[in-house]
Amino acid sequence: MAIESAPPGRGGFYGSFVQMGVPLGVVLSNIVFFFVVAAFPRNAFETWAWRVPFILSIALVFVGLYIQTRLEESVAFEQAARTQDFTRNEKRKSPVLQVLGRHPKKIVLAGGAFIASNTCFYAAITYAVSYGDSVLHLSRSAMLASVVAASVVMVPGVLFFGALSDRWGRSTLFMAGAALTGLWSFAFFPLLETLSYPAVLMALTVELLCLSVMYGPQAALFAELFPVEVRYSGASLGYQLGAVIGGGFAPIIATALFAKYASTLPISIFLFGVCFISLTCTYFLTRDAKSSSARRGS
């Protein structure tokens, strides 16, 4: 919706406001967590007060419902609905079934493209905190504070790279972000292992800035892969596929690798490999899109 409603040539910037919700969510959730921890005794927190942030989040459900009930279809969708290609039978058919039937390859490649940003993000904000606390014996509060500080820096980073994608192209920036994030994974854990809090902050901040290069143009990149009538379903399926495979298993895989090898190098290699997969999937998405455009133009 944000991208379709954007002025010409500004889709990346407008889409980045949606992506900005990722680091903002980390900041707000940790702020609420800090207040709850400070407000309740340790015993109370461990027995029941830990549920308070989750109960408070119910308010977001009503905010989402309020917005959803007042949204209108975008101009681009309304125009597509009036074209001859968008037939009455297609309107009856579920958009999810349409996109699965017509664009399965794009969905799989989009999921692969998203794996790196989700995997590396959760490795940074969850596994790194656990590793710093349980293995390196760094202060958990200091680790969480570093995550929050890095997330604050990530917010303008997402907006900047979203806007930059309007000039340089979505896939170019996205692939550059995957390469930078993959390379930084080899410096990330050694910086944590210095046991220096400034080095920890640097590791997390640079990591999230590298991820910003992917998160910024991501919404526009995914949305522009699919025709208007199935755009939301296609982008959402690709996103959710990458989220489940990447974010869902990243901390588990990282923990298993460290338990087996007693070293963070295999974790860095794993993260680099995931970034390579995302870069490759993005390349093929771009190549296929150019081929389709060439066929339409000929």
CA distance 132 to 143: 7
Neighbouring residues of 232: CB distance < 8 A, sequence distance ≥ 6: 95
Quick one: 13 exposed, middle or buried, by C-beta within 10 A (0-12, 13-18, 19+)?
A: buried
CA distance 292 to 269: 35
User: Worst-scoring range by mean pLDDT, 80-84, 120-124, 161-165, 253-257?
Assistant: 80-84
- Across the range 173-178, mean pLDDT stands at 96
Q: Looking at domain 11-39+73-297, does it have CATH number 1.20.1250.20? A: yes
- pLDDT of amino acid 34: 83
Tokens of 160: 């900047």
Quick one: 130 exposed, middle or buried, by C-beta within 10 A (0-12, 13-18, 19+)?
A: middle
Question: What three-state secondary structure class fits 192?
Answer: helix
Note whether 264 and 193 are within 8 A (CB).
yes
- pLDDT of amino acid 1: 64
> Which residue, 286, 225, 246, is CA-closest to 3?
225
- The model's pTM is 0.84
- pLDDT of amino acid 84: 47
Per-residue pLDDT at 65 exceeds 70: yes
- Across the range 148-177, mean pLDDT stands at 94
Reported as a pLDDT band with limits 50, 70 and 90, residue 228 is confident
CA distance 170 to 209: 17
> Which residue, 42, 5, 290, 31, is CA-closest to 172?
290
Tokens of 184: 């930084």
Cα-Cα end-to-end distance for the chain: 31
- Across the range 167-189, mean pLDDT stands at 95
Reported as a pLDDT band with limits 50, 70 and 90, residue 63 is confident
Note whether 211 and 151 are within 8 A (CB).
no
Torsion of CA 173, 178, 183, 185, to 10 degrees: 130
Neighbouring residues of 130: CB distance < 8 A, sequence distance ≥ 6: 251, 255
Place of tokens 């920890």: 200
> Which residue, 241, 230, 291, is CA-closest to 113?
241
CA distance 152 to 230: 34
The proportion of the chain whose per-residue pLDDT surpasses 70, expressed as a percent, equals: 87
Compute φ and ψ for 272, nearest 5 degrees: -60, -40
CA distances from 23 to 153, 157, 285 (A): 9, 10, 26
Q: Where are the domains of the chain?
A: 11-39+73-297
Note whether 124 and 204 are within 8 A (CB).
yes
pLDDT digits (tens, 9 = 90+) for 80-129: 555 645 555 545 567 778 878 778 888 899 899 989 999 999 999 999 99
CA distances from 43 to 49, 50, 141, 221 (A): 9, 10, 18, 47
Q: Whole-number mean pLDDT of the chain?
A: 85
